[in-house]
């Protein structure tokens, strides 16, 4: 038994050491620190919510060297940000292969400038194929962790027992659980942030607010989203939507909140037609709209 525990302990320490070789400290002008992971040469991933400000950014590498960094892009809906900096000889993190399983060991690894690597240990307590965030984004996998984290570990690595990356420690996707930003989301969102500075998202060109739908209308849902603004020459205007219309469905997805529409209008729909079901004057109507690309702010 003693040898088994010692071997297990040594294996975990080796896993932490392996992934820590790709984990950095992220500093901002506010003097708040978080962690990040070297994704590719010259590029660091971190949590968008943990990133305090966009100026005065620096990164401390595993070698101890601190280098200036610039923000390539950030996406609040998936809690991802990409920084550009000189990563030197730091090796990019190696992603785990295969699916994440409930009950498997999970480690979080961050880094502070003063103490170096910091780690916590637990298990994957929940996993699913896809998850919509409360911020209107979509994660390719839902990975919930049963473990404690240090505040400075936000944006750091979530690894398996062999030191392979499962994802990033999210700061802003749950108020009650530790969530990992998975590989599929990282590859989709971070590539867009690194090349375009933002994530392409669909839009209809309407302002909305969530409203209750009277049960007497018998439309199968208790709430919808009312049109309070229609952008001139936008997709919704071209489809004939008007102020006061209450959007009920986009294709097969029910629109029970503004966030539901944001989640539905992903980049895959840009340039494609969607079927709209809405209320006008208490009567259900139908229309078709071609999804546009949300303009950059």
The one-digit pLDDT tens for each residue of the chain (297 residues) are 678 889 999 999 999 999 999 999 999 876 789 999 999 999 999 999 998 778 889 999 999 999 999 999 999 889 999 999 999 999 999 999 988 999 999 999 999 988 899 999 999 999 998 887 777 678 899 999 999 999 999 999 999 999 999 999 998 888 788 999 999 999 999 999 999 888 888 889 999 999 999 989 999 899 999 999 999 999 999 999 999 999 999 998 999 988 888 878 877 788 999 999 999 999 999 999 999 988 765
H or E stretch covering 8? helix 2-20
The reply to whether 4 and 127 lie within a common domain is yes
Same domain, 245 and 190: no
The C-alpha atoms of residue 220 and residue 246 are separated, in whole angstroms, by: 14
* Residue where a domain stops, chosen among 154, 176, 199: 199
* Same structural domain, 140 and 222: no
The verdict on 111 and 225 lying in the same domain is: no
285 and 228 together in one domain: yes
Report d(CA 26, CA 195) in Å as an integer: 21
Statement to judge: residues 174 and 59 lie in one domain = yes
Q: Which of 53, 158, 169, 22 has its CA nearest to residue 96?
A: 158
Structure token digits, residue 147: 């473990």
Q: Are residues 287 and 140 in the same domain?
A: no
Which of 181, 199, 217 is where one domain is finished? 199
Q: Are residues 256 and 182 in the same domain?
A: no
Cβ neighbours for 6, distance < 8 A, ≥ 6 positions apart? none
Question: Which residues have CB under 8 Å from 29's CB, separation 6+?
Answer: 52, 53, 55, 56, 57
Q: Quick one: 73 and 183 in the same domain?
A: yes
Identify whether residues 191 and 225 lie together within a single domain.
Answer: no
| Residues 42, 18 share a domain | yes
Same domain, 162 and 273: no
Could you tell me the residue range of the domain that residue 245 belongs to?
202-293
Long-range contacts of 195-201 (CB under 8 A, 24+ apart): 196/73, 197/72, 197/73, 198/73, 198/75, 198/296, 199/73, 199/75, 199/77, 199/78, 199/267, 200/267, 200/270, 200/293, 200/294, 201/262, 201/265, 201/266, 201/267, 201/293, 201/294
How many domains does the chain divide into? 2
Q: For strand 80-85 and strand 116-128, is the pairing parallel, antiparallel, or unpaired? A: unpaired
* Final residue belonging to a domain, choices 174, 199, 224: 199
Q: What angle do CA 232, 237, 238 make, to 5 degrees?
A: 115
pLDDT at 202: 87
Residue in the structure block whose two tokens are 């400038």: 113
């Amino acid at each position: 038994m003693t040898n088994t525990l010692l071997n297990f302990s040594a294996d975990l320490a080796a896993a932490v050491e392996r992934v820590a070789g790709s984990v950095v400290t992220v500093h901002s002008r506010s003097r708040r620190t978080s962690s990040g992971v070297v994704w590719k040469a010259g590029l660091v991933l971190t949590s968008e919510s943990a990133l305090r400000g966009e100026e005065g950014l620096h990164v401390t590498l595993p070698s101890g060297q601190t280098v200036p960094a610039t923000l390539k892009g950030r996406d609040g809906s998936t809690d991802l940000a990409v920084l550009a900096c000189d990563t030197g000889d730091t090796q990019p993190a190696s992603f785990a292969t295969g699916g994440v399983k409930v009950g498997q060991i999970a480690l979080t690894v961050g880094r502070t400038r003063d103490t170096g690597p910091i780690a916590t240990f637990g298990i994957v307590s929940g996993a699913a194929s896809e998850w919509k965030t409360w911020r209107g984004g979509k994660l390719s996998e839902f990975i919930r962790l049963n473990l404690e984290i240090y505040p400075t570990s936000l944006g750091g690595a979530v690894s398996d027992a062999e030191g392979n990356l499962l994802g990033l420690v999210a700061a802003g996707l749950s108020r009650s659980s530790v969530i990992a930003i998975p590989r599929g989301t990282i590859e989709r969102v971070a590539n867009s942030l690194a090349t375009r500075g933002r994530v392409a998202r669909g839009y209809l060109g309407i302002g909305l607010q969530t409203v209750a739908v009277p049960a007497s209308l018998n439309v199968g849902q208790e709430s919808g989203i009312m049109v309070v603004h229609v952008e001139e020459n936008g997709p919704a205007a071209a489809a004939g939507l008007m102020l006061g219309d209450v959007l009920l469905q986009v294709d097969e997805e029910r629109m029970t909140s503004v966030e539901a529409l944001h989640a539905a209008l992903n980049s895959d729909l840009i340039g494609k037609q969607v079927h709209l079901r809405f209320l006008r004057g208490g009567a259900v109507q139908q229309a078709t709209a071609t999804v546009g690309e949300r303009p950059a702010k």
